């Protein structure tokens, strides 16, 4: 088995270099054949692949000044570990977005169950209505087995994390600073509770301060980790709307809690609904829209019913376009009874969905890859 961790030092190294983001790093890896080869590449070839003068200078300075083994030791010293594009446990939903972070610094754990995740975000200046709506909806989602993703900010974000924890659920906090920083400082205890029942993550290198410009980009990770984004309380200038915009760009569902037209703190959520977000009057509006009404059953079935060759064969012929069972039977050459019974099990496991008329599509939230030899 390939040891993915041996390259972690090079991923962390590139993450430190200013000017080399996901797009440039992907180009370097494609050109040189791997992250290690790209890190040690000669200057002339680095110029040839298209690095601008400043990015190239930053890379050369980092290569000469940083001991990458020491950088990994620093990560471990703060109680974190890294996930990279190479890591098998890198969140599959996040991997789908076009600018997925090459490195995630993680405190706590991320599990397969986190594939069933909903982001809950909103204003830092939360109203009593917004807080109560957040508590009720988040509690119901967490009790249904949904992982709650948010940004650890004051107001709605922290309310969502706390509600998930009180409900006995999992929650993930995405930071706009290094994993070794704490912002806001009064949420240190909350972050420790989140680490014990989920994860705190960041794509920023160690030591990165919580500057204002860091927070909008981190919102793409909040939405990227989630099947959908729920905005419970937000004005028209709230950063939560940036998360909603990212969600729409990523093809994720956007939900919003309607509020009073007389309250400025509800202008953002009401505008989202006006622009096409689904209005949420109860948790069932989210669970049904995202096909998450049987998450607990799906998780249990996935554990006790491992994938076999029949499932793998069927899944290789199912896409996001509806496919009829008769067409599947013809493609795989199996008896119709075997096809329908296997599909029933796969639907229970959350791998496929029936969309009517005995037609099936792959369920995006399954998070499992199947290959047929």
- SS (HEC) of 87-138: CCCCCHHHHCCCCCCCEEEEEECCCHHHHCEEEEEECCCCCHHHHHHHHHHH
Q: At what angle do helices 295-304 and 336-348 cross, to 10 degrees?
A: 120
The confidence score (pLDDT) of residue 299 equals 60
The confidence score (pLDDT) of residue 91 equals 95
Same fold: 1-75 with 112-289: no
What's the rounded mean pLDDT across residues 245-266? Answer: 95
Q: What is the pLDDT of residues 338-347, one digit of tens each?
A: 999 899 888 8
What's the rounded mean pLDDT across residues 100-120? Answer: 96
* Token couple for 250: 């990523």
**For residue 297, is pLDDT > 80?**
no
Place 3 in a pLDDT band, splitting at 50, 70 and 90.
Answer: low
Pick the CATH number of 112-289 from 3.40.50.450, 3.40.190.10, 3.40.50.150, 3.90.79.10: 3.40.50.450
81-84 and 103-108: which strand pairing?
antiparallel
**For residue 17, is pLDDT > 80?**
yes
**For residue 321, is pLDDT > 90?**
no
pTM equals 0.79
Helix (H) and strand (E) counts in the chain: 18, 12
Q: How far is CA 218 from the centre of its chain?
A: 11
Cα separation, 77 vs 23, in Å, equals 30
Please tell me which residue, 40 or 369, carries the higher pLDDT value.
Answer: 40
The confidence score (pLDDT) of residue 367 equals 40
Cα 240 to Cα 127, 151, 245, 275, 323: the distances in Å are 15, 10, 9, 15, 37
Q: What is the pLDDT of residues 68-93, one digit of tens each?
A: 999 999 999 999 999 999 998 999 99
Domain 1-75 carries which CATH code? Answer: 1.10.150
Sign of CA dihedral 268, 270, 276, 279: positive
The confidence score (pLDDT) of residue 301 equals 58
295-366 classified as CATH 3.65.10.10: no
Place 351 in a pLDDT band, splitting at 50, 70 and 90.
Answer: confident
What's the rounded mean pLDDT across residues 213-232? Answer: 97
Q: What is the DSSP letter of 81?
A: E
- The mean of the pLDDT values for the chain is 90
What's the rounded mean pLDDT across residues 38-53? Answer: 91
Q: What is the DSSP letter of 154?
A: T
Sequence ranges of the domains in the chain: 1-75, 112-289, 295-366
Task: Among 75-84, 217-226, 330-339, name the one with the lowest average pLDDT.
Answer: 330-339
Which among 60, 113, 69, 57 has a CA at the least distance from the CA of 89? 113
* Token couple for 204: 């920023």
Sign of CA dihedral 52, 67, 175, 228: positive
The confidence score (pLDDT) of residue 368 equals 39
């Amino acid at each position: 088995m390939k040891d993915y961790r041996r390259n972690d030092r090079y991923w962390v190294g590139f993450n430190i270099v200013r000017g080399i983001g996901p797009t440039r790093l992907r180009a370097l890896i494609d050109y040189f054949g791997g992250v290690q080869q790209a890190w040690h590449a000669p200057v002339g070839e680095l110029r040839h692949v298209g690095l601008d003068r400043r990015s190239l200078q930053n890379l050369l300075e980092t290569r000469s000044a940083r001991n990458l083994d020491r950088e990994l030791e620093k990560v471990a010293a703060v109680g974190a570990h890294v996930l990279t594009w190479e890591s098998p446990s890198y969140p599959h939903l996040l991997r789908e977005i076009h600018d997925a972070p090459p490195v995630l610094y993680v405190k706590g754990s991320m599990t397969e169950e986190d594939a069933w995740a909903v982001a809950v975000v909103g204003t830092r200046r939360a109203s009593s209505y917004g807080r109560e709506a957040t508590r009720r909806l988040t509690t119901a989602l967490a009790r249904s087995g949904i992982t709650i993703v948010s940004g650890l900010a004051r107001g709605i974000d922290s309310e969502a994390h706390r509600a998930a924890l009180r409900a006995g659920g999992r929650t993930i906090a995405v930071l706009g600073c290094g994993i070794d920083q704490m912002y806001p400082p009064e949420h240190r205890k909350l972050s420790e509770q989140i680490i014990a029942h989920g994860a705190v993550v960041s794509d920023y290198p160690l030591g990165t301060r919580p500057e204002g410009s860091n927070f909008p980009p981190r919102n793409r990770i909040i939405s990227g980790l989630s099947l959908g984004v729920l905005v419970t309380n937000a004005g028209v200038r709230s950063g939560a709307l940036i998360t909603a915009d990212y969600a729409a760009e990523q093809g994720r569902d956007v939900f919003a809690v309607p509020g009073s037209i007389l309250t400025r703190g509800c202008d953002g959520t009401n505008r989202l609904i006006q622009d096409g977000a689904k209005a949420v009057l109860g948790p069932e509006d989210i669970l049904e829209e995202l096909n998450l009404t049987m998450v607990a059953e799906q998780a249990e079935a996935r554990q006790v019913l491992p994938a076999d060759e029949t499932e793998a064969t069927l899944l290789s012929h199912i896409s996001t376009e509806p496919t009829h069972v008769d067409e599947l039977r013809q493609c795989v050459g199996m008896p119709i009874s075997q096809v329908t019974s296997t599909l029933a099990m796969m639907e229970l496991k959350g791998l496929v969905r029936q969309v009517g008329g005995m037609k099936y599509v792959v369920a995006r939230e399954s998070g499992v890859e199947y290959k047929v030899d």
